[in-house]
Amino acid sequence: MKAVRFHQHGGPDVLRYEEAPDPPMAPNQVLVRVRACALNHLDLWNRRGVVRLAMPHISGADVAGEVVESESGVPVGTRVMVQPGLSCGRCRACLAGQDNMCPHYDVLGSQSDGGYAELVRVPVQNVIPLPDAIGFVEAAAFPLTFVTAWHMLVTKAAIRPGEDVLVLGAGSGVGQAAIQIAWLHGARVLATAGTDEKLARARELGATEVINHHAQDLPAEVRRATDNRGVDVVIEHVGTATWQRSLKCLARGGRLVTCGATTGHQAEIDLRFLFSRQYSLIGSYMGTKAELLRAAQFFFSGELKPAVDRVFPLAEAAAAQSHLEESRHFGKVVLQPAE
């Protein structure tokens, strides 16, 4: 098969479009012909070498395609999207339905080979059949960021109708998903972005208050929009660059949920504010298979729509990753293998 692999860690130039062996079949797995694979920041971390990987490596967590080989009861030809969380299926966490707490947890394309290829092999319990009306590009753009945002808002923050939710980085994968999920649950959404064009897109997705984080004072704008109260929930994934401002946006008793740190992972907290204002700081990582299935119901019914920024041919994966690194995107960047 053709695949995009890297043989050493480094910049986008280490990505090579080349021949690679087809993934071997294994028990309880299906072989999927990749029709689309969305990028995630995780792919950038893996390429840069934040965690050492076996070489050569194929990235790619978010896959949609067709089942081409199966010994597990899924008919060949079934159109599917892939749940990117890989877990053992046997431990206490997995059996309790909390597979994202599995000690053996992995995201497809991290310790395993992923979807920057014509073929990928995944466990049978990770494929979700697609309705005919859902295209491969939008299906690939859905799983990782929507399951992440669902877990943050619905499970971790236990969002309620009428609450105020601040979503940082409306144009990011998690940001565009979180705006839609918060809106779907009856929250009032405040969102930030760095350009007016992105702010307009955020409004289309359901944000009622938008704030330019380059041009405006974020905590001041949040106080203005909330009658000086602050927001009930902050959706954080930016890290060092925004941490202090995010805390200043919280109402008394507010919850800050974080799933990432794209600008750096060191942060400080003044404990006097943590206890006296009764904040909750909540870590969140990916989401469970059951949560993805729940979110997918709203995707298939048209109530959640992944924003797709741009589609690149698989062979241009390096250009696609550079596009993501430059933060000019709104929504997901997707790769498509040649027909």
Q: Which of residues 191-230 bind Zn ion (CB under 5 A)?
A: none
* Residue among 69 and 106 whose Cβ is closer to Zn ion: 106
Q: In a 10 Å sphere around its CB, with 0-12 CB exposed, 13-18 middle and 19+ buried, how is residue 312 labelled? A: middle
Q: Please answer whether residues 81 and 50 qualify as being in contact, where contact means their C-beta atoms are separated by less than 8 angstroms.
A: no
Kindly indicate which of the ranges 62-70, 78-86, 88-96, 230-238 contains the residues binding Zn ion, using the contact rule CB under 5 A.
Answer: 88-96
Residue 82: CB minimum distance to Zn ion, A? 18
Q: Which is nearer to Zn ion, 125 or 195 (CB)?
A: 125
Rule CB under 5 A: is residue 124 a binding residue for Zn ion? no
The residue range among 26-34, 96-104, 145-153, 172-180 that interacts with Zn ion, by the rule CB under 5 A, is 96-104
Regarding 91 and contact with Zn ion (CB under 5 A), the answer is yes
Per rule CB under 5 A, is residue 102 in the interface with Zn ion? yes
Alpha helices in 168-316, H assignment, sequence order: 173-184, 196-205, 218-225, 243-248, 271-276, 289-300
CB of 86 to Zn ion, least distance (A): 10
Residue keyed to tokens 């080979």: 113
Q: Least distance from C-beta 88 to Zn ion, angstroms?
A: 3
In the complex, the smallest distance separating the C-beta of residue 87 from Zn ion, rounded to whole angstroms, is 4
Give the residue with the Cβ less far from Zn ion, 125 or 212: 125
Does 284 interact with Zn ion (rule: CB under 5 A)?
no
Kindly state whether residue 81 participates in binding Zn ion, applying the rule CB under 5 A: no
Q: How far is the CB of 222 from Zn ion (least distance, A)?
A: 39
Q: Is 187 in the site for Zn ion (CB under 5 A)?
A: no
Question: Total residues at the site for Zn ion (CB under 5 A)?
Answer: 5
Of 35-43, 82-90, 151-159, 165-173, the window that binds Zn ion (rule: CB under 5 A) is 82-90
Sequence-ordered list of residues with C-beta below 8 angstroms from that of 247, at least 6 positions apart, any chain: 256, 269, 273, 279
Query: Residue 318 and residue 14: Cα distance in Å, rounded?
Result: 8
- Tokens read off for 307: 């924003």
- Rule CB under 5 A: choose which of 15, 94, 317, 333 binds Zn ion: 94
CB neighbour class for 59 (10 Å; exposed up to 12, middle 13-18, buried from 19): buried
Q: Which is nearer to Zn ion, 68 or 101 (CB)?
A: 101
Residue 254 to residues 109, 165, 282, Cα–Cα distance (Å): 35, 10, 11
Structure token digits, residue 57: 């490596």
179 counts as binding Zn ion under rule CB under 5 A: no
Is residue 4 within 8 A of residue 96, CB to CB? The reply is no
Sign of torsion over alpha carbons 296, 300, 305, 306: positive
Query: According to the binding rule CB under 5 A, does residue 88 interact with Zn ion?
Result: yes
Backbone angles phi, psi at 95, to 5 degrees: -70, -20
Residue with smaller CB distance to Zn ion, 87 or 192: 87
Q: Which is nearer to Zn ion, 103 or 131 (CB)?
A: 103
Stretch that binds Zn ion, among 2-10, 80-88, 188-196, 217-225 (CB under 5 A): 80-88
The answer to whether residue 87 forms part of the interface with Zn ion (CB under 5 A) is yes
Compute the Cα dihedral for 141, 23, 107, 194 and give only its sign. Answer: negative
DSSP secondary structure string for all residues of 168-190: S-TTSHHHHHHHHHHHHTT-EEE
Q: Which is nearer to Zn ion, 289 or 323 (CB)?
A: 289
Q: Could you say which residues in the range 229-268 bind Zn ion, by CB under 5 A?
A: none
C-alpha–C-alpha distance, residues 45 and 1, integer Å: 25
- Nearer to Zn ion by C-beta: 88 or 241? 88
**Binding stretches for Zn ion (CB under 5 A):** 87-88, 91, 94, 102
